[in-house]
Amino acid sequence: MFKILIIEPDESLTDLLKSNLESEFKAQVHLAKNYKETIDTVSTKEIDIILVRANIQDENIAVKLLVYMQDKGNKTPVITLGNVDIEGLECICLNENPAVSEIITLLINTLDIPNEELQKVLLPPYVGFPLHYFFQMKSFVSDVYIKLKKKGEDQYVKRINSGEDFDKKMLLKYKESGLNELYIEKEYRNKFWDVLIGDNLKRINDLTKDQSNFATDKFVELSNDSYQLSAELLTSLGINEQTVKIAKGTMEAMSRSVKSMDKLGPLLRKLMSNEGSYAYKRAHLITLFSYEVLNRLDWFGKEQIDEAFEKMVFCSFMHDVVLTDEKLLRVHSKIDLYKADLDEKSKSLINNHANIVSSLVQKFPRAPRDADIIIKQHHGTTNGIGFADQPNASLAKLAIVLIILEKFVIRIMDFNKETDTMKSILDELNIEYQLPSYKKVMEALTETLLNQVS
């Protein structure tokens, strides 16, 4: 296993490098953001190669590192992002903004690893992707294969030519036959994510360009696909350039759909009747109601409403993103958790998911300010662990908004025509939320329903 130290403040770049190096070469990647973290790592861990940004916050960190290593007699190869032009210091200099592929190629070439050893850790020649991703794409720039199990070595057989439009009927036959994955050549794997994400976002953008002819049904279907894709990629790949792109694009589409509506009723009915995922419908419904509720609260000035709404869109999208199973998403309290037929790992994930997602959000480039705090508190605790026994007045204001709207949305999604009415649901929530700050949100929600949903 190759041990690589990367000193770079841009988390989106380090996440992308880390995911590629770990998946492609099974490298062990250490990260540092400043000189102290760098020296702590260099002095305590065995490192095979170092990648360092030449200057970080006006500090010539690469020069300081090279001088330190020279003094210690440390011969570990160093590659810098940006020029280091000082005589006697040995390093390889790249420009400040090289392509990720260029960085990775230079790192591996500089390590001078014997080919036999490299072959042991390289990705297989073909990489599999879930079949349902191909339903969301028009075509792809490389050939697409199926894998046939053979004794000794698997065989990959071409089924779709490069650039050829995907035949949805053929894909459906594959699905019905139990095929779960299709394969592409490994060098195209990053391009695959780009095309998949690009196709998803383009369809949504094309659909919402003409607000006078806005096809709500189709938009909800496409938004559901993008939401599901975002959640899957964030969970499997973490925060990187591609997952951030699809997540932000989906959030923007949800926001745009809400802002474009004269009345909430039409979109509400489409979301409630749509067969999309429970997670998507809940997130979009919270977004839908938050837009009107925020405008009816006296907590924000006019100039703050857009910022508050952006936070609510982000938090409604992200707050449960690590709960990929609907069974887990339907656990909303300590009682639900006690009654649920779940293994200990799942119960632990539910208890800790607010804290886990809060930490994930801190790595998300340009996430709305305090979004991590709102998400950490969305089950009423301040530490993001477990469920609160009763409403807590010390939470962030938008955390209180999220708590109430999520509870309301859950109730209307599980609406029982025999026992429930909109009034009975509001009465139930009014009894539960007696604290002044919670009452304000309930009043704004009630006013929204009276004035907007028709």
- Can you name the residues that pair with 8 across neighbouring β-strands? none
Look at residue 193 and tell me if it is in a domain.
no
Asked if residue 396 and residue 364 are part of one domain, the reply reads yes
User: What whole-number distance in Å separates Cα of residue 312 and Cα of residue 257?
Assistant: 14
359 has pLDDT over 70: yes
Confidence class of residue 452 from pLDDT cuts 50, 70 and 90?
low
- pLDDT at position 121 is 61
Last residue in a domain, options 66, 95, 119: 119
Identify the top-confidence range among 32-36, 185-189, 266-270.
32-36
Pairing of strands 181-185, 155-160: unpaired
266 has pLDDT over 80: no
Asked if residue 397 and residue 280 are part of one domain, the reply reads yes
Compute the average pLDDT of residues 145-155. Answer: 83
Asked if residue 418 and residue 296 are part of one domain, the reply reads yes
Compute the average pLDDT of residues 114-128. Answer: 73
Give the domain CATH number at 280.
1.10.3210.10
Look at residue 285 and tell me if it is in a domain.
yes
Asked if residue 284 and residue 167 are part of one domain, the reply reads no
Q: Among 80-94, 322-336, 361-375, where is mean pLDDT lowest?
A: 80-94
Last residue in a domain, options 87, 119, 151: 119
**Which tens digits make up the pLDDT trace of 409-427?**
999 888 887 888 889 999 9
Neighbouring CB atoms inside 10 A of 270's CB total: 17
- pLDDT at position 371 is 95
User: What whole-number distance in Å separates Cα of residue 135 and Cα of residue 133?
Assistant: 5
Asked if residue 135 and residue 217 are part of one domain, the reply reads no
- pLDDT at position 134 is 92
Look at residue 197 and tell me if it is in a domain.
no
Percent of the chain with pLDDT over 70: 94
Asked if residue 231 and residue 178 are part of one domain, the reply reads no
Judge contact between 418 and 229, C-beta under 8 A: no
Compute the average pLDDT of residues 381-406. Answer: 94
The tokens describing 106, both together, are 């230079």
Upper half-sphere CA count for residue 391 (Cβ side, 13 Å): 22
Instruction: Tell me how many domains the chain contains.
Output: 3
**Which tens digits make up the pLDDT trace of 369-384?**
999 999 999 999 999 9
- pLDDT at position 120 is 63
Residue with tokens 């857009």: 306
453 has pLDDT over 60: no
Percent of the chain with pLDDT over 90: 41
pTM equals 0.70
The tokens describing 85, both together, are 């032009």
Look at residue 286 and tell me if it is in a domain.
yes
Chain mean pLDDT for the chain: 87
Residues 6+ away with beta carbon under 8 Å from 99: none
Terminal Cα distance for the chain, rounded:
62
Asked if residue 9 and residue 111 are part of one domain, the reply reads yes
Q: SS in 3 state form for the chain?
A: CCEEEEECCCHHHHHHHHHHHHHHHCCEEEEECCHHHHHHHHHHCCCCEEEEECCECCECHHHHHHHHHHHHCCCCCEEEECCCCCCCCCCEEECCCCCHHHHHHHHHHHHCCCHHHHHHHCCCCEEEEEHHHHCCCCCCCCCEEEEECCCCCCEEEEEECCCCCCCHHHHHHHHHCCCCEEEEEHHHHHHHHHHHHHHHHHHHHHHHCCHHHCCHHHHHHHHHHHHHHHHHHHHHHCCCHHHHHHHHHHHHHHHHHHHCCCCHHHHHHHHHHCCCCHHHHHHHHHHHHHHHHHHHCCCCCHHHHHHHHHHHHHHHHHCCCCCCCHHHHCCCCHHHHHHCCCCHHHHHHHHHHHHHHHHHHCCCCCCCCCHHHHHHCCCCCCCCCCCCCCCCCCCCHHHHHHHHHHHHHHHHHCCCCCCCCHHHHHHHHHHHCCCHHHHHHHHHHHHHHHHCCC
Domain extent, residue 8, equals: 3-119
Nearest alpha carbon to residue 280 among 310, 318, 331, 245: 318
Confidence class of residue 212 from pLDDT cuts 50, 70 and 90?
low
Asked if residue 402 and residue 264 are part of one domain, the reply reads yes
Look at residue 424 and tell me if it is in a domain.
yes
Q: Among 46-50, 63-67, 193-197, where is mean pLDDT lowest?
A: 193-197
What is the CA angle 296-300-301, rounded to 5? 105
Last residue in a domain, options 93, 119, 145: 119
Look at residue 201 and tell me if it is in a domain.
no
User: What whole-number distance in Å separates Cα of residue 75 and Cα of residue 80?
Assistant: 15
Asked if residue 94 and residue 174 are part of one domain, the reply reads no
387 vs 152, which has greater pLDDT?
387
Instruction: Give the sign of the dihedral formed by CA 96, CA 98, CA 103, CA 105.
Output: negative
User: What whole-number distance in Å separates Cα of residue 36 and Cα of residue 61?
Assistant: 10
Phi, psi of 226 (to 5 degrees): -70, -40
Look at residue 35 and tell me if it is in a domain.
yes
Nearest alpha carbon to residue 410 among 261, 225, 285: 285
Compute the average pLDDT of residues 351-357. Answer: 92
Asked if residue 169 and residue 71 are part of one domain, the reply reads no
What is the CA angle 275-276-280, rounded to 5? 145
Asked if residue 181 and residue 282 are part of one domain, the reply reads no
Q: Among 153-157, 171-175, 264-268, 297-301, where is mean pLDDT lowest?
A: 264-268
Confidence class of residue 112 from pLDDT cuts 50, 70 and 90?
confident
Phi, psi of 341 (to 5 degrees): -90, 80
Compute the average pLDDT of residues 104-127. Answer: 77
407 has pLDDT over 70: yes
- pLDDT at position 211 is 59
Look at residue 198 and tell me if it is in a domain.
no
Asked if residue 150 and residue 104 are part of one domain, the reply reads no
User: What whole-number distance in Å separates Cα of residue 89 and Cα of residue 64?
Assistant: 10
Confidence class of residue 111 from pLDDT cuts 50, 70 and 90?
confident
